[in-house]
């Protein structure tokens, strides 16, 4: 009878042994699997494990190894500038038949073959702007001459083309012709790519209520555009530049000016961001309940006229409306506006207050009008401030009978 304890041993003898070639195949499979994780154009880091006559082998993690041409590792005098064990950064230029790396594409020492690889892989190359020529710039990349159109040298076109001459930039080859003798490059393509990556990082912080720093890029009649970073722009409307009415945005901000703004709204679908320079704590309407009462007489300045009445500034940031129906009857429908031209300073009686809608209705007090150019309205107090000129004296006279 067979001892059952011997059975597992016999079964194990029947199991096929793993041969050395199979082990080598498994190792190669693992290495090739590791290599496929990398893509052309990717920058990777690895350690030099061996240096041969023409190439060096780089350990890029796991069992993956890559090769890099020995000329990529030499300095200007031709001496090898690395040793076994040193770590280097390089760009993957090919994944066919293993990983091939390049370190000099980003250092302007690329060969014609490497430039073609860079073009096909979309890799950046370093070049020196030699001079401005018709329509763009002559760029030197290694021993090759390339052309960069004016529109592709930067995100914003410089008014002075010579500003870029002599500078070394990273470029992307966008056209490769005649075996590399005709190259067209773009710096803007790389800048836009970097900008998109930064924008993805910045956007989550741009939410309603956030206070951010930005730079004014342009000023228009309706407001100003502010760069919040990475090319993300918001609109600072003229009505949000101050609590007081602003008629000319250029009097408040200028292109290039650094500003701190508050985000009012973000419309993701329309890609629109509304900004404000107003700080809620400075809202003059917050103190309106304590400052204004129906029946009070207040000095004010007419800021603009409309068909339905006159807008009156009672203090910076607080406007009232003198409706056309509150003016004395005149011969023609628009004759009322002659008594309150824009800039006129006068005394107005408060007729109504709607704090929720931030509206105050007023009526002109006849006989207390200063022509255009008179003294500005004083800050409203229980009694008009001294030093407001003849208008202040008249106003105190009008208020005294009410107190008595």
Question: Is 46 among the domain residues?
Answer: yes
pLDDT digits (tens, 9 = 90+) for 259-277: 999 999 999 888 899 999 9
Tokens read off for 51: 């240096």
In a domain, 74, yes or no: yes
346 and 386 inside one domain: yes
Q: What is the pLDDT of residues 74-94, one digit of tens each?
A: 876 778 888 999 988 888 888
Last residue of a domain, one of 281, 310, 333: 281
Are 60 and 130 contained in the same domain?
no
Residue 1 maps to a domain:
no
150 located within any domain: yes
pLDDT of residue 98: 83
Residue 115, in any domain of the structure:
no
Statement to judge: residues 250 and 288 lie in one domain: no
If one counts the domains in the chain, the total is 4
The two structure tokens encoding residue 276 = 């404000």
Give the Cα separation of 268 and 34 in Å (integer).
40
Q: Are 396 and 323 part of one and the same domain?
A: yes
**CATH number where 86 lies:** 2.40.50.140
Question: How high is the pLDDT of residue 266?
Answer: 94
Per the domain annotation, does 199 fall within a domain? no
Q: Do residues 372 and 339 make contact, with C-beta atoms less than 8 angstroms apart?
A: no
Residues 297 and 394 in one domain: yes
Give this prediction's pTM. 0.54
Q: Label residue 109 by pLDDT band (50, 70, 90).
A: low
Does 147 share its domain with 257? Answer: no
List the domain range (segments joined by +) for residue 225: 206-281
Same domain, 93 and 152: no
> Does some domain include residue 52?
yes
**Cα–Cα distance measured from residue 197 to residue 201, given in angstroms and rounded to the nearest whole number:** 7
Write the pLDDT tens digit of every residue in 147-196: 999 999 999 888 888 999 999 898 999 999 887 789 999 999 999 988 99
User: Are residues 399 and 288 located together in one domain of the fold?
Assistant: yes
Q: Is residue 38 part of a domain?
A: yes
Q: What whole-number percentage of the chain has pLDDT above 70?
A: 77
Angle at 202 between CA 198 and CA 203, to 5 degrees: 115
Report residue 29 as tokens: 């499979």
> Are 50 and 92 members of one domain?
yes
Q: Which of the listed residues 145, 160, 193 is the one where a domain comes to its end?
A: 193
Q: Could you read off the pLDDT of 335-376 as tens digits, one per residue? A: 777 778 888 888 999 999 998 888 899 998 876 666 655 554
Shared domain check, 288 and 277: no
Q: d(Cα 72, Cα 130) in Å, to the nearest integer?
A: 24
CA of residue 263 relative to chain centroid, distance: 13
Q: Per-residue confidence at 253, pLDDT binned at 50, 70, 90?
A: very high
Residues 350 and 302 in one domain: yes
Q: Are residues 354 and 275 in the same domain?
A: no
Q: Final residue of a domain: which of 244, 262, 281? A: 281
């Amino acid at each position: 009878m067979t001892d059952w304890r011997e059975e597992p041993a016999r079964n194990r003898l029947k199991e096929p042994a793993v041969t050395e070639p199979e082990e080598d195949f498994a190792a190669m499979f693992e290495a090739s699997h590791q290599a496929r994780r990398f893509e052309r154009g990717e920058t990777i880091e690895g350690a030099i494990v061996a240096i041969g006559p023409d190439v060096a082998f780089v350990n890029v993690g796991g069992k993956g190894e890559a090769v890099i041409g020995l000329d990529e590792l030499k300095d200007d005098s031709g001496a090898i500038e690395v040793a076994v064990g040193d770590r280097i950064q390089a760009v993957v230029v090919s994944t066919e038949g293993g990983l091939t790396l390049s370190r000099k594409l980003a250092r302007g020492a690329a060969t014609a073959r490497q430039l073609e690889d860079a073009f096909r892989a979309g890799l950046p190359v370093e070049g020196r702007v030699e001079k401005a020529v018709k329509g763009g710039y002559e760029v030197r990349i290694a021993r090759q001459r390339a052309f960069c159109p004016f529109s592709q040298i930067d995100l914003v076109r410089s008014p002075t083309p010579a500003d870029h001459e002599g500078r070394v930039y990273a470029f992307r080859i966008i056209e490769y012709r005649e075996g590399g003798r005709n190259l067209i490059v773009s710096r803007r393509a790389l800048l836009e790519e970097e900008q998109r990556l930064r924008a993805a990082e910045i956007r989550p912080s741009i939410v309603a209520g956030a206070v951010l720093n930005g730079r004014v890029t342009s000023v228009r009649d309706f407001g100003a555009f502010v760069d919040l970073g990475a090319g993300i722009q918001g609109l600072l409307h003229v009505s949000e530049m101050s609590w007081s009415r602003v008629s000319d945005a250029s009097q408040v901000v200028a292109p290039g000016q650094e500003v701190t703004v508050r985000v009012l709204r973000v419309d993701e679908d329309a890609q629109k961001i509304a900004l404000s320079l107003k700080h809620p704590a400075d809202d003059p309407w917050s103190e309106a309940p304590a400052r204004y009462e129906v029946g009070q007489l207040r000095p004010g300045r007419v800021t603009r006229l409309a068909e339905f009445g006159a807008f009156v500034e009672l203090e910076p940031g607080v406007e009232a409306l003198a409706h056309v129906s509150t003016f004395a009857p005149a011969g023609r429908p628009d004759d009322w506006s002659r008594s309150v031209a824009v800039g006129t300073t006068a005394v107005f009686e408060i007729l109504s207050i709607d704090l929720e809608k931030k509206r105050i209705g007023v009526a002109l007090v006849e006989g207390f009008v200063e022509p255009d150019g008179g003294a500005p309205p004083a800050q409203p107090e229980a009694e008009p401030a001294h030093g407001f000129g003849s208008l202040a004296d008249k106003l105190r006279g009008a208020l005294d009978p009410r107190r008595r």
